[in-house]
Chain A
Amino acid sequence: MAWNKPSIDSLKVVGKPFRKVDARAKCVGQTKFADDIVLPRMLLCKMLRSHLPHALIKSVDVSKALALPGVIAIITGKDLPIPYGILPVSQDEHALCIDKVRFIGDPVAAVAAIDEDVAFDAMNLIEVEYQPLNTISSIEEAVMIDEPRIHDYGDEGNIHKKVSLEFGDVEQGFAEADLVREDTFFYEGNTHLPMEQHAAVGHYDADKKLTLWSSTQTPHYVHRALTKVLELAASHIRVIATPNGGGFGGKSDPFNHEVVVCKLAMITGRPVKVTLTREEVFYCHRGRHPVLMKVKTGVKKDGAITGMHFQSFLDGGAYGSYGVASTFYTGALQTVTYDVPRYKFQGLRAFTNKPPCGPKRGHGTPQPRYALEVPSTRSPRLCDSTQPRCGAHTWLNPTRPQQIIYASAAWVWVLVLTRLSKAPIGRIDFPVGIKPIESFPPVKALGSPAAPISVAPGYQSTGTTCPSRACSSGWIDRVAFA
């Protein structure tokens, strides 16, 4: 296992741990997260959420709740009629539902009270009459069932958005191939689960200036949404992003609870705080989209790809969120990782009566990476046995620098996984045309032959250039156990 570790002792920065500027405050409990903020006369907010996945709101009666001692204000959907959303093309959210709920957890009313217990009791005194609608619960149902529509916008029925991308003649590619594989995969989705639940404090002062402290990753988008929904001048709103107790994409949308505490602060003239329970964080969600993926790949005997047709069907949940971008991302970055000379992509995002999906660490890109690596791992068996290197690495083109970055990044991750899984350090074959760097340790196949570990690397764009160009950092999306 001996290998020549680069000498770093002479370097000042490389290989040296550097303390983060705010690390000590975090280790003594001084860092103020959003829920740690307490202001004089502050009210606490609880939101009444729908217990039905899909229903029309017939009536909301807050009179009993308002009569409870300690309740200062209650708002419902009619108090916040202007829609918002993270993307200009998906302004489909209301801070509180007006005439319809679209998933279990969709908020209908919000209470501000002198403490959280009173707010909770008042929340349970609000009477909502619903008229249930049929539930759209899966991608298949959303594609097959047009009525009832979850939203009255979108491409058709319960299809939110269709996107496509194509270059070259894929049919010609399949005709030239020695082998055409067709595979179907389903990725079931997951969620960010940061340790800190979302929290926000709104404060509207006597000079008509609004301040929001929130555990948000995107204060400027929140600022824009508040300007629109509350109809305040942008210069009269200040959004302070407090330190995040983890976010991972799950705090990147303007959220209903952020709008609600600002509105309640404006009505009551007092600061208002909301802190979500762990259960409510799952309603906020915006986690990784479940994706049904169909991939048709043509390969030559030497492993070279001749063409690829990739179709993705995303379960978007009840609202748009970043979904249009996520849908595009499931297809746009397939051709960066490997040399794909002809490519056709068709993506579709469906509305379902579930918490809305959005950006999570790679934002639509990791799901298809897994779908693409599995056939690449399986292909060798079907290829010419005299070509021992037929497999994922022969899909790489060493003349394209981003693919060399890919190979290097994959190699590092294999090493990390080896370490974490306690598997013996093995050897991996480097892609054709890429020589092992001598200071790296020898590598060989990982684990037992029965349970090899596969790495499914992917690309994400940095900056604002076109994601299909070689402009990426070579990070690894996820690990697939193939």
Chain B
Amino acid sequence: MKQKTHISFTLNGEATEIAFAPHKTLLEVLREDLALTGTKHGCELGECGTCTILVDGRAILSCLMLGLDAEGHEVKTIEGMAQGAELHPLQHTFADLGAAQCGYCSPGFLLVAEELLQKKPNPTRSEIQEALSGNLCRCTGYIKIYEAVELAAARMRGEEMELPRESVYGLE
């Protein structure tokens, strides 16, 4: 039988050890060996952004990274985004504003948005568009996703913000 390789790394804040076939991508290791199926696959070619995770705080396509290369790094998946039972503000706004429709691309979008708000607490709409440009969504048309990021950013800054209405009413 094939030989497995063994790595240790930090996964969603917890020290983790895992053995797997050395040719596996980190996406496959997460889904198949660690049962974290929240990370999705869309193309497995680096085109769609669906498998995005955070490695040392940076958004990475897990379909293009070998599991072996996670050795010693801090990996965060969608399962590690909430603080215990309390959702991340982005998770709240994505759910509340219809930014997650079928939900398949949502984990990738959420983690890219988290990285963006870590770096830029008050991003402009074009900065949000730029940051999310590597992720494809086939349901929402993106506007609700932009609005959800803007509302979460405002809440994380501690500011009041009226609920966005652009996707309901169009341009005023």
Co-complex (A, B): yes
Q: Which residues of A contact B (CB under 8 A)?
A: 1, 5, 15, 17, 19-20, 22-33, 35-36, 38, 117, 193-197, 243-246, 248, 277-278, 415-416, 418-420, 425
| B44 & A29 in contact (Cβ 8 Å cutoff) | no
A424 CB to nearest B CB, Å: 10
| B36 & A29 in contact (Cβ 8 Å cutoff) | yes
List of A residues within 8 angstroms of B91 by Cβ: 24, 27-28
| A29 & B79 in contact (Cβ 8 Å cutoff) | yes
Task: State the CA gap A117–B42 with chains docked (Å).
Answer: 19
Would you call B128 an interface residue if the criterion is a C-beta within 8 Å of the partner chain's C-beta atoms? Answer: no
Would you call B78 an interface residue if the criterion is a C-beta within 8 Å of the partner chain's C-beta atoms? Answer: yes
A5, A23, A418: the one contacting B100 at CB < 8 Å is A23
List of A residues within 8 angstroms of B64 by Cβ: none
List of B residues within 8 angstroms of A20 by Cβ: 95, 98, 100-101
Closest residue of B by beta carbon distance from A70: B1
Q: Which 5 pairs across A and B sit closest by C-beta, in order of nearness?
A: A29-B38, A26-B103, A245-B104, A29-B78, A23-B95
Known contacts being A246-B102, A277-B44, A278-B43, is A195 close to B138, with CB within 8 Å?
Answer: yes
| A245 & B103 in contact (Cβ 8 Å cutoff) | yes
| A29 & B50 in contact (Cβ 8 Å cutoff) | no
| A17 & B42 in contact (Cβ 8 Å cutoff) | no
| A425 & B82 in contact (Cβ 8 Å cutoff) | no
A17, A243, A419, A420: the one contacting B103 at CB < 8 Å is A243
Stretch at the interface among B3-11, B67-75, B116-124, B162-170: B162-170
Would you call B52 an interface residue if the criterion is a C-beta within 8 Å of the partner chain's C-beta atoms? Answer: no
B12 CB to nearest A CB, Å: 11
List of A residues within 8 angstroms of B138 by Cβ: 193-195, 246, 248
Task: State the CA gap A415–B170 with chains docked (Å).
Answer: 7
B104 CB to nearest A CB, Å: 3
| B102 & A29 in contact (Cβ 8 Å cutoff) | no
A30, A195, A416: the one contacting B42 at CB < 8 Å is A195
Closest residue of A by beta carbon distance from B2: A117
| B78 & A17 in contact (Cβ 8 Å cutoff) | no
Task: State the CA gap A48–B51 with chains docked (Å).
Answer: 27
A10 CB to nearest B CB, Å: 15
List of B residues within 8 angstroms of A19 by Cβ: 95-96, 98
| B171 & A418 in contact (Cβ 8 Å cutoff) | yes
List of B residues within 8 angstroms of A415 by Cβ: 170-171
Would you give 14 A-B contacts (Cβ < 8 Å), ordered by A? A17-B96, A19-B95, A23-B95, A24-B91, A24-B95, A27-B95, A28-B82, A28-B87, A29-B78, A35-B41, A243-B103, A246-B139, A419-B166, A425-B171
Task: State the CA gap A19–B104 with chains docked (Å).
Answer: 17
Task: State the CA gap A187–B104 with chains docked (Å).
Answer: 30
List of B residues within 8 angstroms of A36 by Cβ: 31, 37
